[in-house]
Structure 1
């Protein structure tokens, strides 16, 4: 079983790392070409987000899907399938 997180801003990054570090398979879906959301536009000295992004990119329990959007959802809570950008199907 995997966990899908939609949005690669600070909250999505934090949730993905916490869950992945706890042993869960995480699918992090971000519509932009890079992680960080609005915080990524600020000075790195102010945010300190770069080390978290590197950890996300290299974590064995995280599948990062950049430039991707959820296009479909079917099923029910706990038993569903997501279609992401027409090329990924997550169950």
Structure 2
């Protein structure tokens, strides 16, 4: 999932999740912000929050929702918010 952030100071945020290997990455303008492997999680919602921009600051929140059972075999909803406004959604 890719989405822009900012008006005067434009940034591109990319969220990627591989269900098979559990690798999750978030990049801003090609620079890695989050790079992790998640093989097990007790919670059904995982939230990632970051600040984007220098002069024009924005709060980005990405939520990955998973099913309770057999999550690795089912679609996982992903929602992206910029300053608490939904700007993108997809399926991982």
Structure 1 length-normalised TM: 0.27
Structure 2 length-normalised TM: 0.27
Instruction: Say which structure is richer in strand.
Output: 2
